[in-house]
A and B are shown apart, each in its own frame.
Chain A
Amino acid sequence: QVQLQESGPGLVKTSETLSLTCTVSGGSMSYYYWSWIRQPPGKGLEWLGHIYYSGSTNYNPSLKSRVTLSVDTSKNQIALNLTSVTAADTAVYYCARTREGYNWSTGSYWYFELWGRGALVSVSS
């Protein structure tokens, strides 16, 4: 079955760039959206953004200037870059396979149907 695995450095220094990769195994990336969601220790979930397999993106406005997502379908990977990190960016970062639906009242919506196991990233000076 399809599995998602996040990978990357577990420790990033303050003001540097956090970079993570999500590798998709057991299935195709085509015709899906792929999201990044994070969870600070002991806290709730925060959506960071999503990317369609073709490369179009949508970011959370609260982080928009710092977040970049990219996709490499030849490697079955989605990448997350978060710049100028602070201690507040310490979190478990999840990638999730995402489906799109349509609501006649409000337009497109998405839901996160399959999640990776997450990667803990700590930010420290």
Chain B
Amino acid sequence: SFELTQPPSVSVSPGQTASITCSGDRLGNKYVSWYQQKSGQSPVLVIYQDGKRPSGIPERFSGSNSGNTATLTISGTQAMDEGDYYCQAWDSSTGVFGGGTKLTVL
């Protein structure tokens, strides 16, 4: 079955660039979405169709997808960006989420 693999954790210093990867077989042929979930809150869509930002999402969030790996990049990371990030894609009309990456800003 199709699986998406994310690193369990990523740490970044404030103001630096954070990169969170998501790997899956031929993932570059699929569109990837990314969701941010802060502690105790519901997930929020931050990137869809690999690199598009919904209204209200800061420009520091960007995404790319090629080969077997999609990447969420947060430029100039702020303390408010701390939380769990999930990638998501579709395989044969079945929704699949990555296991999630805990982003720590320290």
Residues of A bordering B, CB below 8 Å: 35, 44-47, 50, 58, 60-61, 94, 99, 101, 103, 105-118
Contacts and interface: CB of A to CB of B under 8 A. Distances in A.
B96 interface: yes
20 contacts: A35-B95, A44-B98, A45-B43, A45-B100, A46-B97, A47-B95, A94-B42, A101-B31, A101-B48, A105-B29, A108-B93, A109-B30, A109-B31, A109-B49, A109-B90, A110-B95, A111-B31, A112-B35, A115-B44, A116-B42
Nearest to A58: B93
Contacts of A46: 97
A45 B90 contact: no
Interface residues of B, number: 24
B-side binding surface: helix, strand, loop or mixed?
A: strand
B31 A44 contact: no
Contacts, number: 69
Contacts of A94: 42-43
B94 A113 contact: no
Interface in B51-106: 54, 86, 88-90, 93-100
A117 B95 CA distance: 20
Nearest to A105: B29
A44 to B, nearest CB: 5
Nearest to A101: B49
Contacts of A47: 88, 94-97
Contacts of B97: 44-47
B45 interface: yes
Contact of A45 (B29, B35, B44, B48): B35
